[in-house]
């Protein structure tokens, strides 16, 4: 009896629930991957995400081949390619891990309906899914804090090794090259996809960084967060490995500091996945119905402002540093993600879907559930969102979370020599200080492109008008 394990985003063999479960029932398994042209055409993909995915796919194929197995890759439409491989090996079952985004749900439902053999699906990507954690009235949670309390109490299974299995010899396409896929990058690429790099990052993080996480996680100049997000997105490590590594650190050291706070982030991740599953319309529309009609701006002036925003040239150093960090590395620290999204909403008044597109194209960890959650939170249109009248001040956020301007200097070289006193508001530099620091405002670095105080008031009006 042969089973096909259709892999999508869990790019590892260890603790891959579909492989583990298939290996309990089958001696022969075909790990199978379809490079889906339709997905490439219909999603806002960019080099960072595609590169990480591609490297992780290549790594998985190589690792399986080293064990005398293989990853069979086919290019085409998933249903058609699955039907072909089922016939080739006379498979009697297809196994796959569940995915929660609308596109994947539709695709997977179609596959289940149209394949005439059994299709078994598994929870793998999250610790708790769908309707596993419900309110006392049996409804899915919209408020994080109550969800979190139950999330922490719920049992979490340990990672598992698959049993022995053989992979029948089959023809496989190559892992597509980036040129073939049409994606290019200028400069150094700072990420390594694949399992080895994910495991190393996790080990390093739980060895020491996790203990300082609570105190340091809001300071983007510190390397204090795990940077595991692309590995969790593409499943080069499993979410259970991440959770239990943190628990192991707690047990070994007895040191609680940081661990609960970090695990809370894993709970946020699950929370947003269950929000998207239970309210899939969130992918297209604001979660809060009363704000669906907000009159976001998109006239010529705002199109120009958006261009400057995307280049990191708004004249607000903390925002610009964050955008440039994303443009140059494919990643942005969480605190500036919140500030940038708030700036796009409440200083520029540009539709949240435009920011979603930019972040989808530019982030290595672009993940629809967490991104929608984060953006709609900052835009005050999401579940359990920041109230609309609470507006981040882009200057004081910088002063608070990057007090000496280290982060700003790292990403905005033209501000490198600006004295600490002006680093957050360089437009206030007197002429002679501009001269001395080699940074002329309006030439080397822009004046603020909007007046924050006025825009903040306009934002409040927009929300009040809509509701």
Q: Which residues form the interface with ligand FAD (CB under 6 A)?
A: 217, 225-229, 232-233, 265-266, 268-269, 272, 334, 337-338, 341, 359, 363, 365-367, 370-371, 373-375, 378
Question: How buried is 11 (Cβ within 10 angstroms: 0-12 exposed, 13-18 middle, 19+ buried)?
Answer: buried
Nearest distance in Å: CB 337, ligand FAD? 4
Which whole-number Å values give the CA distances from 18 to 30, 39, 163, 177, 424, in the listed order? 11, 22, 12, 27, 50
Nearest distance in Å: CB 366, ligand FAD? 5
Nearest distance in Å: CB 232, ligand FAD? 4
CA distance 438 to 416: 9
Cβ proximity to ligand FAD, 229 vs 236, nearer residue: 229
Residue least distant from ligand FAD (Cβ):
374
CA distance 326 to 360: 11
Cβ proximity to ligand FAD, 17 vs 325, nearer residue: 325
For every residue of 222-291, DSSP letters joined together read S--S---HHHHHHTSS-HHHHHHHHHHHHHHH---TTHHHHHHHHHHHHHHHHHHHH-GGGGTS-SSGGG
Cβ proximity to ligand FAD, 286 vs 441, nearer residue: 286
Residue that has been written with the tokens 């023809």 in this structure: 171
**Residues 219, 103: contact at Cβ < 8 Å?**
no
Nearest distance in Å: CB 197, ligand FAD? 13
Cβ proximity to ligand FAD, 102 vs 168, nearer residue: 102
Cβ proximity to ligand FAD, 52 vs 463, nearer residue: 52
Nearest distance in Å: CB 377, ligand FAD? 6
Cβ proximity to ligand FAD, 224 vs 437, nearer residue: 224
Cβ proximity to ligand FAD, 222 vs 414, nearer residue: 222
Nearest distance in Å: CB 112, ligand FAD? 27
How large is the C-alpha radius of gyration of the chain?
24
Nearest distance in Å: CB 105, ligand FAD? 18
Q: Which residues contact 369 (CB under 8 A, 6 or more apart)?
A: 100, 101, 269, 272, 273, 275, 276
């Amino acid at each position: 009896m042969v089973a096909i394990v259709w892999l999508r985003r869990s790019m590892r063999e260890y603790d891959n629930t579909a492989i583990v479960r298939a290996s309990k029932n089958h001696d022969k398994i075909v790990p199978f991957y379809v490079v889906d042209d339709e997905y490439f055409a219909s999603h806002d993909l960019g080099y960072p995400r595609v590169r990480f995915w591609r490297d992780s796919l290549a790594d998985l194929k190589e690792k399986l081949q080293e064990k005398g197995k293989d990853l069979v890759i086919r290019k085409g439409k998933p249903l058609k390619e699955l039907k072909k491989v089922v016939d080739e090996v006379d498979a009697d079952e297809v196994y796959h891990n569940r995915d929660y985004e609308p596109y994947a749900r539709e695709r997977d439902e179609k596959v289940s309906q149209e394949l005439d053999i059994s299709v078994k699906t598994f929870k793998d990507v999250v610790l708790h899914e769908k309707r596993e954690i419900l309110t006392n009235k049996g409804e899915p949670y919209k408020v994080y804090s109550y969800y979190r309390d139950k999330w922490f109490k719920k049992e979490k299974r340990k990672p598992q090794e698959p049993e022995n299995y053989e992979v029948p010899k089959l023809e496989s396409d190559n892992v597509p090259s980036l040129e073939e896929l049409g994606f290019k990058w200028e400069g150094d690429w700072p990420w390594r996809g694949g399992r080895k790099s994910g495991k190393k990052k996790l080990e390093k993080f739980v060895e020491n960084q996790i203990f300082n996480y609570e105190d340091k996680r809001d300071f983007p100049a510190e390397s204090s967060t795990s940077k595991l997000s692309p590995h969790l997105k593409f499943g080069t490590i499993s979410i259970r490995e991440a959770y239990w590594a943190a628990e192991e650190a707690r047990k070994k050291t007895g040191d609680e500091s940081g661990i609960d706070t970090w695990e809370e982030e894993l709970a946020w991740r699950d929370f947003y996945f269950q929000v998207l599953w239970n309210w899939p319309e969130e992918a297209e529309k604001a979660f809060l119905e009363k704000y669906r009609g907000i009159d976001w701006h998109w006239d010529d002036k705002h199109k120009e402002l958006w261009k400057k925003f995307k280049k990191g040239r708004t004249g607000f150093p903390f925002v610009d540093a964050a955008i440039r960090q994303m443009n140059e590395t494919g990643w942005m620290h969480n605190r500036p993600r919140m500030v940038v999204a708030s700036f796009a909403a409440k200083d520029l008044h540009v539709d949240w879907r435009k920011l979603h597109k930019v972040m989808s194209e530019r982030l290595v960890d672009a993940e629809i559930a967490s991104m929608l959650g984060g953006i709609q939170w900052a835009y005050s249109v999401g579940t359990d969102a920041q109230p609309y009248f609470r507006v981040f001040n882009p200057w004081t956020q910088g002063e608070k979370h990057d007090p000496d301007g280290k982060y700003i200097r790292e990403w905005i070289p033209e501000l490198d020599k600006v004295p600490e006193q002006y680093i957050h508001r360089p437009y206030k530099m007197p002429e002679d200080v501009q001269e001395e620091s080699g940074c002329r405002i309006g030439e080397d670095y822009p004046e603020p492109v909007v007046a924050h105080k006025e825009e903040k008031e306009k934002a409040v009006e927009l929300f009040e008008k809509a509701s």
